[in-house]
Structure 1
Amino acid sequence: MTQSLSTARDILQDLSAGRRTAVSLMEETLARIDVVNPVVNAIVSLRNRDELMQEAAAADRAKTCGPLHGLPIAVKDLANVAGVPSTQGSPLLADFVPHQDDLMVARLRAAGALIIGKTNVPEFGLGSHTFNPVHGATANPYDVTRSCGGSSGGAAVALATGMVALADGSDMMGSLRNPAGWCNVYGFRPSWGLVPSDPRGDLFMHPLSTNGPMARSPEDLAILLDVMTGPDRRQPLSTATGAAVPAIPSPQSRPMRIGWLGDWGGAYPMEPGILDTCAEALRSLADLGHEVEAIAPPYAADRIWQSWITLRSFAVAAGLRVFAGQTDRLKSSAQWELERGLALSGREIQAASDLRSDWQRVASRLFQNYDALVLPTAQCWPFDLEVDHPAQINGIAMDSYHRWMEVVTPVSLLGLPSLAVPAGFGDTGLPIGMQIFAAHGQDRDLLALGQQYHLATQWPHRHPPNLPTMSKNQSGSCA
């Protein structure tokens, strides 16, 4: 394992014990970014180096102020960071520099993190492919001609390449699960409400998206999740419980019953090799003593999809309606979501909510028999960087810009906790992941199970990308 792939836990322990300084860590971080970022373009709006070194020196002089004291972190470019451009990948916000941190960013600062810049995203976070007209595209570290996923693509690539040890993500439609799977790292979508959103706009009607941590191990996920969780008095729907798990003292030892949903009975087209790779990864769970069995689709996929695209457009349009008079400056997917969302009737929204409630009732019964369920993190392997989105999978046409990511909607629609874990690599050397999800509130058990799986597989450390010797015209390999 290279120094750049050290665990966040080890780095933080070294900082706390004085075996490492924030200054030396910042120097290593910036040196790594100098080598790697020109190839992959994961970190954007990098702050002034002199200012960062001064902040690191101040951290060394100060009393430890929190669990992330002295750790460099780049924040996803959908969140506002005071004094740093927060573009959301849109030309409409290219010059926007906020004066106040978002809630999650304020919590990172309070925990002692040093904010070095942003991680790249698709425009307004729409589409699981990280490219935009402000910062350009972020390349997959295992093949720089391929997509890294999204919308937390910059975060996943920064982790996979050792530019940061922890990263924040957000997830509406697989936005941290898909890039985690395509970049051979971990991402965690927590139970909805565990990590409160920023207290602006509507506080009641759009519970689809959530912030969550990304890292190279579930144990490291727990460290960041502990900082992100906790109620906010301005948020009536944020949960009053504390962190799901501030640290994992030991991996999951209780045998679990795990259901493998595969391609949902054929409802989700899959490129060749994805189901086989995930099935092989599931054998690792079986070898650890867990009972894994294939199960039939518990609910109609088309009902989940119809509910999802209605409620998603309703939620996205609420966020984009401020740009309703400038639709010609929005990318096509944003225009589509805005127009659909603003045209929805109350009756249509209620019908979608009824379908969601039906799926919730079915899922509740299912989780009485299974501790966790598993699906792939995507339906295709990382596609060409120059393509906006896949037009077809196995000859089946995709009827929207996001239909190829339908596999994440059973989780997103209900706000279930879901852990994206590396599953392995296909014949072309590209990674894929699995999403392991459970009933609301089972975050601790999922992370513990994930840590047990991680200790047995060690995918991020056994197969890091080989970027330092690459040029932009070469493909990465599994080291």
Structure 2
Amino acid sequence: MTATTAADDDLCLRPATELAALVRKREVSARELLEAHLARIERVDPQVNAIVTLDAEGARAAADAADAALAAGEEVGPLHGLPAAHKDNHLTGGMRTTWGSKLHADNVPLHDELVVERLRRAGAVRVGKTNVPEFAAGSHTVNELFGATHNPWRHGLSAGGSSGGAAAALAAGLVPVAEGTDMGGSLRNPAAFCNVVGLRPTPGRVPTWPVAMGWSTLSVDGPLGRTVADVALVLSAIAGPDPRAPLSLSDDPAGFAAPLPEEVPGLRVAWAPDLGGLVPVDPAVSAVLREVLPVVESLGGTVEEACPDLREADDVFGTLRAWLFDATFGDLVRRSPEAVKETIRWNAAAGAALSGSDVARAELAHTRLHERVVRFFDRYDVLLAPTTQVLPFPVELEYPTEVAGVPQADYLGWMRSCTLVSATGCPALSLPGGFTPDGLPVGLQLVAAPRADRRLLEVAHAIEQATGHGRRRPPL
């Protein structure tokens, strides 16, 4: 086993913003930083199973090139020399991309997809790939190809999903930066379960390419990090327009990397403990999050219990997701149903049964929903709610079938605290919100007005600094 030291472990658990500065000032070399992380991966990842493909030699060559660029005085990107692992549904040129499916166990793409290309252009050193559920469907990271990813806070419990490998890798100190995708909570849910930060940006903020349905707003790419500032730094590297992505926003991404304020005076906060009575929530989750409200008020904000009218969001999300699943997986399901898990078959079949009128009804409701949330955020700066309705559950369980004593109709039911928000098109972030008495993390979801991603980061940073929950590390 590779030798490791307490200093190496400290290096692996420091914020990415600090590590980027150390590398840039040449106080730590990219190679030294990489070797510390490779040693920790070797020692810790067998407990977690977060990184499913590792290219140590390729990473060493990239780290040496990063050091040579600094020595030559070249201009470098904001993530220069930072080890990164990519979600295993993101195409990585020359490195296998499996989507957590045995069908693609040996698939090696020729080119990076856009989000991976941008991370590498920003200077990130590619280490490997992070685990996902099969085809990144569902919020529990387990598949027949690689098995389950375990929660760094407690072995045997779920790390969430579908970006569960990425969130677990961050929490365990295996990489300082990571990225993922979010349709129904796949960045937020694992961030909550693993006590890290996950941002679902406004659709178009981080353009996705290649993509089969470029006009869909349901699935977005976004950053994860151990701190809000780390997430902002990664966002500055992966945001920005691309003409191939029809929804991409033209704002200059550099603004996200600007220092985040410590104070947010006059903050108007809406607290929605059950999203307007629409979702059941485990009392243990609610008890932890109630403790955050006095902290928010101490920042000079006013907190009121309020929620936009989300009653049509279930139909919007459920219909448009099913439509998307039939378009993406329908042919495969009809041709080889045994090749995909039952939940994907169910979702694709629901999409195949839709009529044009069904999709039109959902899009009309989608527009009404957007108008209501825009009016809501005229009165409030941010909405606070639970990220997840449950605590991390045993890895053997495919998904919770009951929440707070309420049976869930399908595998999406327990994720509705996230899926309802996805339908609004608002940026949403999961922030470490506290711990249960027996040490399990709970996520606080922050939601801002459409395109107000920077404001969302500012508010999240201020709450993060005041609570300090994100500074705790799992007992690995």
Q: Which amino acid aligns with 1:368?
A: D
Q: Distance in 2 between matches of 1:299 and 1:106?
A: 39
Pick from 224, 230, 242 the counterpart of residue 214 of structure 1.
Answer: 224
Partner residue in 2 for 1:55? 62
TM-score, normalised via structure 1 length: 0.94
How big is the shift at 1:35?
Answer: 1.2
Report matched runs for 1:44-83 at 5 Å.
44-47=52-55, 49-62=56-69, 63-83=74-94
* Residue identity in the other structure for 1:399: A
* Preserved CA contact (<8 Å) 1:160 1:460: no
How many Å apart are 1:257 and its aligned residue? Answer: 0.4
Q: Shift of the alpha carbon at 1:17?
A: 0.6
**What letter matches 2:356 in structure 1?**
G
Q: Secondary structure at the match of 2:394?
A: coil
Tell me by how many angstroms 1:253 deviates: 2.7
CA shift for structure 1 position 300: 5.0
C-alpha distance in 2, partners of 1:249/1:359? 30
Contact in 2 for aligned 1:257/1:372 (Cα 8 Å): yes
Residue number in structure 1 paired with 2:140: 129
Q: Does 1:7 align with 2:18?
A: no
CA deviations on 1:429-476 (whole Å, 9 max, x unpaired) are: 111111111111211111111111122222222x21011xxxxxxxxx
Alignment-derived partner of residue 33 in structure 1: 41
State the 1:364 CA deviation: 1.5
Amino acid at match of 2:124: A
Greater CA drift, 97-106 or 388-397: 388-397
2:351 corresponds in structure 1 to: 341
The DSSP-based 3-state class of the residue aligned with 1:236 is coil
1:384 deviation in Å?
Answer: 0.9
Alignment correspondent of 1:151: 162
Distance (Å, rounded) in 1 between the aligned partners of 2:355 and 2:94 = 40
Cα distance, 1:248 vs. partner? 2.0
1:271 corresponds to which of 264, 270, 282: 282
Look up the match of 2:151: 140
Which letter does structure 1 place at the counterpart of 2:62?
E
Is 1:184 aligned to residue 195 of structure 2? yes
The 8 Å contact of residues 184 and 415 in structure 2, kept in 1 or not, is answered as yes
Residues 1:360 and 2:370 are matched in the alignment: yes
Report the alpha carbon displacement of residue 56 of structure 1 after superposing the two structures with TM: 1.4
Q: Which runs of 5+ in 1 are unaligned?
A: 468-479
CA distance in 2, matches of 1:277, 1:60: 44
Question: 1:247 and 1:77 mapped to 2: Cα distance?
Answer: 30
The whole-number CA distance in structure 2 between the counterparts of 1:235 and 1:398 is 36
TM-score normalized with structure 2 length: 0.94
Given the alignment of the two structures, is residue 111 of structure 1 paired with residue 118 of structure 2, yes or no? no
Write the distance in 1 (CA, Å) between the matches of 2:242 and 2:57: 34
CA distance in 2, matches of 1:7, 1:248: 14
> C-alpha distance in 2, partners of 1:209/1:320?
15
Partner of 2:28 in structure 1? Answer: 20
Q: Does 1:308 align with 2:317?
A: yes
Provide the identity percentage.
40
1:291 to 2:291 alignment: no
Partner residue of 2:99 out of 68, 88, 93: 88
Measured after TM superposition, the shift of residue 33 of structure 1 is 0.4
RCO higher in 1 or 2 (8 Å CA, sep ≥ 6)?
Answer: 1
> Paired residues, what number?
462
The Cα offsets for residues 297-320 of structure 1, whole Å up to 9 and x where unpaired, read as: 43253x321221111111122222
Distance change >3 Å, CA 19–CA 192, structure 1 → 2: same
2:142–2:148 contact (8 Å) kept in structure 1: yes
Contact 2:276 2:310 in 1 (8 A): no
Contact 2:201 2:220 in 1 (8 A): yes
1:64 Cα deviation after fit: 4.5
Aligned-partner SS, 2:380: coil
Shift of 1:249: 4.6
Counterpart-to-counterpart distance in 2, 1:81 and 1:50 = 16
Within a 5 Å distance, the mapping from 1:318-337 to structure 2 comes to: 318-324=327-333, 325-337=335-347
Distance 1:71 1:322 in 2: 40
Q: Which one of 418, 428, 443 corresponds to residue 438 of structure 2?
A: 428
Decide whether aligned partners of structure 1 residues 20 and 374 sit closer, same or farther in structure 2, where only a CA change above 3 A counts: same
Q: Can you give the 5+ residue segments of structure 2 that lack an aligned partner in the other structure?
A: 1-8
Q: CA deviation at 1:252?
A: 4.1
- Retained in 1: the 8 A contact 2:374–2:450? no
Give the Cα–Cα distance (whole angstroms) in 1 for the partners of residues 440 and 49 of structure 2.
19
Q: Deviations over 1:88-115 (max 9, x none)?
A: 1011111111010001111111111111
Give the deviation of 1:410 after TM superposition.
2.7
Distance of 1:199 and 1:147 partners within structure 2: 30
Report the 3-state secondary structure (helix = DSSP H, G, I; strand = E; otherwise coil) of the residue aligned with 2:423: helix
Query: How far 1:283 sits from its partner (Å)?
Result: 1.9
SS at match of 2:379: coil
